[in-house]
Chains A and B, each alone.
Chain A
Amino acid sequence: DAMVIQNPRYQVTQFGKPVTLSCSQTLNHNVMYWYQQKSSQAPKLLFHYYDKDFNNEADTPDNFQSRRPNTSFCFLDIRSPGLGDAAMYLCATSSLRGAGAEQFFGPGTRLTVL
């Protein structure tokens, strides 16, 4: 089945130690998104790629970076994780950018920062 895959499902890192989360998709969608979701809150968009075009949300901290080496893969790099970065990180894809495009979500990676 076509899907959005996130690895690992659970990630533990230490304060200040860089960590990379990965997302892959078999849907061949042009757009890939990264969301941060803290406990009992709505998902918050960090950035998205439209093909290779990177779009950062204005309030996304510089500590968060992303790479998209090809259509299928997208990575979220947290350069120096703080305790406040502990959250669920959701990857999503859509075939179109903009209104009306359904987003398909992966299962998420739950990040713990010690």
Chain B
Amino acid sequence: AQKVTQAQTEISVVEKEDVTLDCVYETRDTTYYLFWYKQPPSGELVFLIRRNSFDEQNEISGRYSWNFQKSTSSFNFTITASQVVDSAVYFCALSEPTGNQFYFGTGTSLTVIP
């Protein structure tokens, strides 16, 4: 079963628009960790955020914000006032205590049009 679902395959927005990338996860563990990574065209996965399952506080970092809702098993990512440099593939990932790997979603390709 897919543990992390990113239903949006591709999104295009015009520069300065806000955009939300959806992530829905599935786990039976009460302790788990959620991540977002950015993969620009250069290929390197860049860490954006880690959230543990006991911390439901939303987080804001500059133009980025994350909304973690355990009730809906979602960990959505919003970019405010998008810029061309935000164009990339964004991956949501889940890590469980019993495993040694990340369960990556299939990624959302974001294109910001100038």
Contacts of B104 in A (CB 8 A): 42-43
Task: Point out the residues of chain B lying under 8 angstroms from A105, CB to CB.
Answer: 37, 44-47
Q: How far is the CB of B5 from chain A (nearest CB, A)?
A: 11
Interface residues on B, range: 20 to 34
CA distance A40 to B19 in the complex (A): 21
Within 8 A of A (CB), among B1-60: 31-33, 35, 37, 42-47, 50, 52
Q: Are A108 and B44 touching (Cβ within 8 A)?
A: yes
> Which B residues lie within 8 Å of A102 (CB)?
35, 47, 50
Contacts of B100 in A (CB 8 A): 48, 50, 55, 97-98
Q: Once the chains are docked, how many angstroms separate the CA of A55 from the CA of B101?
A: 11
Name the CB-closest residue of B to A43.
B104
Interface size on A, residues (CB 8 A): 26
Docked pose: A48 CA to B99 CA in angstroms: 12
- 9 chain-A/chain-B pairs, Cβ below 8 angstroms: A41-B107, A42-B104, A45-B102, A97-B100, A98-B97, A99-B33, A100-B50, A103-B45, A105-B37
**Residues of B that sit less than 8 Å from A by CB:** 31-33, 35, 37, 42-47, 50, 52, 91, 95-97, 99-102, 104-107, 109
